[in-house]
Amino acid sequence: EGHGTGTKAGDPREAAAISQVFGQRLDAPIATRGPLYVGSIKTVIGHLEGAAGLAGILKASAMVQHGVIAPNLLFNRLNPAVEPYYNGLHVPTQTLPWPELPNGVPRRVSVNSFGFGGSNVHAIIEQYNNSSIRSHAEGTIVSNGAWGPVTPFVFSALSEASLVAQLQAYSDHLGRHEELDPHDLAWTLQSRRSEFATKASFSASTISQLKSKIDTKLAEVTHLGPPDPAYLGVFTGQGAQW
C-alpha cells in the first residue's frame, strides 16, 4: 500500500524504495513468485491530509481480512519516471482474489505513509489467526488458574462516577466469587454489555488478579471532575497554509 504522493518527485522515489527493498524477490521469474501488487487508496478517496496513513491502514486491514486485493482508480498510463522500477510490480485496476499461500503463511500488506517534514512511517499488517477464540466458543473448557493471558476486561459507563461505582460493584462481586471463569467474564464484558464513552480496561489471567487491579485503580481515583483539555495540531503539508 503506497502513500502515492502524486508529485513529480515523490512517486519515483517511493517506487525506487519499493524496488530496492523487494529487489531480490522481484529478480526471480514471475512464474515462481507472482507479481508484487502495489496500490494507493488515495486514488479512490483523494488526499485525507492528517488522516492519510489511517486510511491506508484501514484498506490494508480490510484486504487481509477478506482475502481480496482492492483496485486503483484512474490508472491509464504508467508514469515514465516510475517505469524503471516497475519490473515485477503490478498496479491492480480491478478487484482480485488474494493469491494462494502455503500453509502457515499469513497474508501481509506493507503500508507507507509519508508526512510533512520527513516524518515517514511504514507499518506491516498481518492476518490474525483467531483459532483460539473459535476453540473456546466451541466449548473448550479453560480452568481459572494461571493459564495465561486473556482478552482485556473492558468496563464502560456514561460517566466517570458511574464507572467508579461499577468497578466497585464488580470488585465486591469478584471477591465473593473467585470461582468464575476469567475468559467467560472477559467475553461477556466485551460482547454482551453496552459500550459507552467512559472506559477502563484491565488484563489479568485470574479472577483474583483482576480484582487486585480493579482495587488498585479505585485507590487512584482522586477526583471526578472533567479532565484537562488537550490540544491537537494537524499539519496539512501545504506550506502556503502554515
CATH number reported for the structural domain that contains residue 85 in this entry = 3.40.47.10
Is the Cβ–Cβ distance between 186 and 145 less than 8 Å?
no
Instruction: Please give the Cα distance from 225 to 39 (Å, whole number).
Output: 47
Q: Given pLDDT bands bounded at 50, 70 and 90, which one contains residue 69?
A: very high
Closest CA to 220 of 173, 163, 182, 172: 163
Supply the range of the domain harboring residue 52: 10-126
Residue 241 lies in a domain: no
> Do 102 and 146 sit in the same domain of this protein?
no
Residue 176 lies in a domain: yes
Instruction: Please give the Cα distance from 171 to 141 (Å, whole number).
Output: 24
Range from 52-66, 135-149, 202-216, 220-234 carrying the lowest mean pLDDT:
135-149
> Do 94 and 163 sit in the same domain of this protein?
no
Q: Which one-letter amino acid corresponds to residue 131?
A: S
Residue 98 lies in a domain: yes
Residue 236 lies in a domain: no
When computed from its CA atoms, the radius of gyration of the chain, rounded to whole angstroms, is 24
pLDDT in tens, 43-62: 888 887 777 788 999 999 99
What pTM, to 2 d.p., does this model score? 0.54
pLDDT in tens, 109-145: 999 988 766 678 899 999 987 654 444 444 443 444 4
Work out how many domains the chain is built from and give that number: 2
Other Cβ atoms within 10 Å of 41 Cβ, number:
23
Residue 136 lies in a domain: yes
Element (H, E) at 15: helix 10-21
Instruction: Please give the Cα distance from 43 to 71 (Å, whole number).
Output: 9
Q: Which three cell numbers stand for residue 208?
A: 483474583
> Do 54 and 68 sit in the same domain of this protein?
yes
